[in-house]
Amino acid sequence: MARELSIGIAGAGIGGLAAAAMLAREGHRVTLFDQFAAAGPVGSGLMLQETGLAVLGAMGLRMQSEALGTPIARLHGISVDTGRAVLDVRYGALRPGLAGLGIQRAVLFDVLQAAAIAAGARLVPATRIVSADAGAGTLTDAEGGLHGSYDLIIDALGVRSPLSSAPKDELTYGALWATLPWPVSSTFDKSALEQRYEVARKMAGVMPSGRAAPGAPDSLTYFWSIRADQYDAFRAAPLIHWKDAAHRLWPETAVLLDQLAHHEQLTFARYRHRTHAVPVKDRLVHIGDAWHAASPQLGQGANMALLDAYGLAQSLKQEADVPAALRLFLKIRAGHVRLYQLMTWAFTPVYQSDGAMIPWLRDRLAAPLLRLWPAPPLLAGLVAGAFGAPLKRMGLKAER
Ligand SMILES: Cc1cc2nc3c(=O)[nH]c(=O)nc-3n(C[C@H](O)[C@H](O)[C@H](O)COP(=O)(O)OP(=O)(O)OC[C@H]3O[C@@H](n4cnc5c(N)ncnc54)[C@H](O)[C@@H]3O)c2cc1C
């Protein structure tokens, strides 16, 4: 095991907080920087897969997270052009009892932040990191403050990390997101993430997303696909214009649209696709979205950040020095990262793009193919994050 290290983590998001909790528990001196005055997450819900849940299990946080989330057994998307299912994934096709977990981002953040602080990590808020010196092991903030020197710097600054030099591919589409109370009466399936598509230009989704606290009312997360270059026009027009279009695509969402009165209730997220070829330099390592950002089509990002954090903590536990630990980290994580970056990149135009050919094929071929063996277990394995056996590579086991 590496000696007691001083570790600077830039970014108190999902990956940074998980890494901080695990490394502080191992006795390392961990300092965590975030730009937020009171560190906090951007709204909306996200979906945890068995990969991310297994990491939370190893951290002793799975039961608590599951009590705050909603199990999702099925992903079900219908093309309104043909009325056919063009996405139908049942986790149980891979293993009985397997499911994803819909959870509010803020809730997961709170669980991880409490674990990091309880383990002794020091959180430094209101500090915007602008650069790092990988050789010296220092971080510089926007006020010119120098932090370190650290034995190890972890870049967990997310998709817009200024420490990451990888090319930033802005994707054409992003989405509007809102977390809303689960309606008293609705047709939505509480055990499924449901979507509706018109070609691949319009897409709306409803995802069960647990509750803010034990015993609090259930919530769902509604999302609407939007071209990034149309966001300003959306903001400039009366909200009713967008609500009319959303209602036409999926009339049953009227009960949700009625709860939206202001543009500000919808958070816009623009997607990027970027992968660092080698996410390690001297004493600096990139994890989570700072290493590999992608559109959330396969719902893997938070899970990948958790896997990275666990893989890094395990590597530092097993190897005597930092360079050897970082080599081991790359060995256990790089293959899975490359595989999912490629698959997410390939799947994105199927559900979010301006093209007509891919959605046309999707609408005609997907419905029959989705039912043919081995498609059901393969698709379940794909969305569960199981391709490339990421848990086995780190000595972790799926609990379900
Ligand atoms: C709308 C949307 C829906 C998603 N849905 C899913 C899903 O269903 N399932 C899933 O697994 N993933 C999903 N993702 C992806 C997932 O949220 C990310 O992959 C995950 O949060 C990455 O974790 P991270 O720790 O790398 O970065 P983040 O969680 O983004 O954390 C980065 C942190 O760094 C801080 N920061 C940024 N810049 C600076 C700076 N210069 N100085 C100081 N602090 C800074 C931020 O404040 C933040 O706290 C979704 C993403 C989006 C945008």
Its CATH class, for the domain covering 6-168+272-393, is: alpha beta
The chain-wide mean pLDDT, for the chain, equals 93
Beta-bridge mates of residue 72: 100
Nearest alpha carbon, ligand 1 atom 30: 158
Q: How far is the CA of 374 from the centre of ligand 1 (A)?
A: 33
Average pLDDT over residues 359-370: 81
In the chain, the amino acid numbered 142 is: A
Per 3-state DSSP, the chain is made up of helix, strand and coil in percentages (nearest 5) of: 40, 25, 35
Average pLDDT over residues 250-278: 92
Beta-bridge mates of residue 112: none
Decide if pLDDT at 255 tops 90: yes
Task: Take residue 22 and report the two structure tokens written for it.
Answer: 């695990």
What per-residue confidence (pLDDT) applies to 382?
Answer: 94
Residues 280-337: tens digit of each pLDDT: 999 999 999 999 998 888 889 999 999 999 999 999 999 989 999 999 999 999 999 9
Q: Where does ligand 1 bind, in terms of residues with CB under 6 Å? A: 10-16, 33-36, 44, 46-47, 128-129, 156-158, 160, 162, 175, 177, 269, 288-290, 296, 299-303, 305
- Higher pLDDT: 371 or 72? It is 72
Where does residue 137 fall: left (phi above 0), alpha (psi -120 to 50 degrees), or beta otherwise?
Answer: left
Atom of ligand 1 at shortest range from CA of 162: 41
* Residue 2 pLDDT level (bands cut at 50, 70, 90): low
Q: At what angle do helices 301-318 and 50-58 cross, to 10 degrees?
A: 40
Q: Give exposure, 82-107, as e/b (b: 16+ Cβ within 10 Å).
A: eebebbbbbbebbbeebbbbbbbbbb
What percentage of the chain carries pLDDT values higher than 90?
78
Decide if pLDDT at 248 tops 90: yes
Handedness of CA 356, 362, 363, 364 (dihedral sign): positive
Residue 331: count of CB within 10 angstroms of its CB: 12
Nearest alpha carbon, ligand 1 atom 15: 301
What percentage of the chain carries pLDDT values higher than 70?
97
Nearest alpha carbon, ligand 1 atom 1: 269
* Residue 149 pLDDT level (bands cut at 50, 70, 90): very high
Cα–Cα distance, 86 to 95 (Å, whole number): 22
Residues 151-168: tens digit of each pLDDT: 999 999 999 999 987 666
Average pLDDT over residues 274-281: 87
Task: Take residue 377 and report the two structure tokens written for it.
Answer: 């277990």
* Residue 13 pLDDT level (bands cut at 50, 70, 90): very high
Atom of ligand 1 at shortest range from CA of 128: 42
Q: At what angle do helices 14-25 and 105-118 cross, to 10 degrees?
A: 20
185, HSE (Cβ side, Cα atoms, 13 Å): 0
- Higher pLDDT: 369 or 254? It is 254
Average pLDDT over residues 268-288: 91
Residues 105-144: tens digit of each pLDDT: 999 999 999 999 999 999 999 999 999 999 999 999 999 9
* Domain layout of the chain by residue ranges: 6-168+272-393
Decide if pLDDT at 16 tops 90: yes
Task: Take residue 310 and report the two structure tokens written for it.
Answer: 């666990």
Q: How far is the CA of 159 from the centre of ligand 1 (A)?
A: 7
| Pocket-testing residue among 289, 336, 340, ligand 1, by greatest number of atoms within 8 A of Cβ | 289
In the chain, the amino acid numbered 55 is: V
Cα–Cα distance, 395 to 384 (Å, whole number): 17
Residues 179-216: tens digit of each pLDDT: 999 999 889 999 999 999 998 789 999 999 999 999 99
| Pocket-testing residue among 109, 147, 157, 336, ligand 1, by greatest number of atoms within 8 A of Cβ | 157
What per-residue confidence (pLDDT) applies to 41?
Answer: 52
What per-residue confidence (pLDDT) applies to 211?
Answer: 96
What per-residue confidence (pLDDT) applies to 19?
Answer: 98
